Structure 1
Amino acid sequence: TAAFTEQTSVLIAPSATITDVDSANLTPMTATLTVRPDGNTTESLSLNASATTAAAGLTVSYTTSTGVLSITGLASKATYQ
């Protein structure tokens, strides 16, 4: 659970760790905003500047209607992290 102030960004899992015991690489990853405080599409998920840089070469998309952020493309766990 993450707390936030309206109209500001918040890190939702700043210390999350991605693991995969049988591969050094991942593809794809999704994050879903399941409960929207305003009950509409105003809230969204996005990558911050450093994550956007790290995701170079991957495809990143956000679907407003479903609240799903998708990252696709083969990359190391460190890149997805």
Structure 2
Amino acid sequence: MPISIPNTVIVPGQWKVLKGHTVCEEIELAIRKALPESTVFTHLEPKEDPVSFGDIELLIERWSKQHPLWWEGRA
């Protein structure tokens, strides 16, 4: 069964695009090795921008609603 995995990677803003891209490729490769049927969508964000953390907060909110027993006590 195919799995779509959204992924946000937050890196220092002063990194060159190539370095951030290389890190993302390594992460995606590790995920695909662990989950061969997965498709990974990675979004790269600079850590200095507060807006960068909005996606993560949204994912945590969705995950906690979908998996309330797992999430209980972690907030």
Do they fold alike, i.e. is TM over 0.5?
no
The structure with the largest helix share of the pair is 2
Structure showing greater radius of gyration is 2
- Superposition TM-score, scaled by structure 2 size: 0.28
